[in-house]
């Protein structure tokens, strides 16, 4: 897992784009980068489009970021791996992800 690059497209907003695995072997380094970005920016946007593997440790990291008091965290461009895990765990709503909330009824009907 590469350490995500920090991009600041607008004042107070940081954008991170992790790549590869978001799992037990990579979350420690990512957690530090995400916490640093949360400490120095009012809002954080995390692009998940390049995540090809994610496990429950990655999911816990996402929940930790989303629950950061006084900060806005938004996940965008979810990869298929991320969408599968969020659907399996039924946590799209907990993460405040409108894409998953809108897709949930269609996914449940298909089962």
Question: What residues contact 12, with CB distance under 8 A and at least 6 apart?
Answer: 41, 42, 43
| Structural domain boundaries in the chain | 6-101
pLDDT in tens, 29-85: 999 999 999 999 999 999 999 999 999 999 999 999 999 888 999 999 999 999 999
pLDDT of residue 105: 41
Is 26 in a helix, a strand, or coil?
Answer: coil
Contact 89, 100 (CB under 8 A): no
pLDDT of residue 101: 47
Answer yes or no: is pLDDT of 11 > 70: no
Q: What is the CATH number of domain 6-101?
A: 3.30.750.24
Structure tokens at 31: 């957690």
pLDDT of residue 110: 40
Question: What residues contact 50, with CB distance under 8 A and at least 6 apart?
Answer: 17, 18, 19, 20, 79
């Amino acid at each position: 897992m590469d350490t995500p690059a920090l991009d600041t497209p607008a004042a107070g907003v940081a954008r991170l784009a992790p790549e590869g695995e978001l799992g037990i072997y990579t979350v420690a380094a990512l957690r530090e980068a995400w916490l640093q970005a949360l400490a120095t920016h009012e809002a954080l946007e995390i692009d998940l489009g390049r995540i090809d593997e994610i496990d429950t440790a990655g999911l816990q990291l996402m929940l930790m970021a989303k629950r950061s008091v006084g900060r806005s965290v938004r996940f965008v461009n979810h990869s298929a791996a991320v969408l599968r895990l969020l659907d399996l765990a039924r946590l799209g709503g907990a993460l405040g992800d409108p894409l998953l909330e809108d897709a949930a009824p269609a996914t449940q009907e298909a089962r």
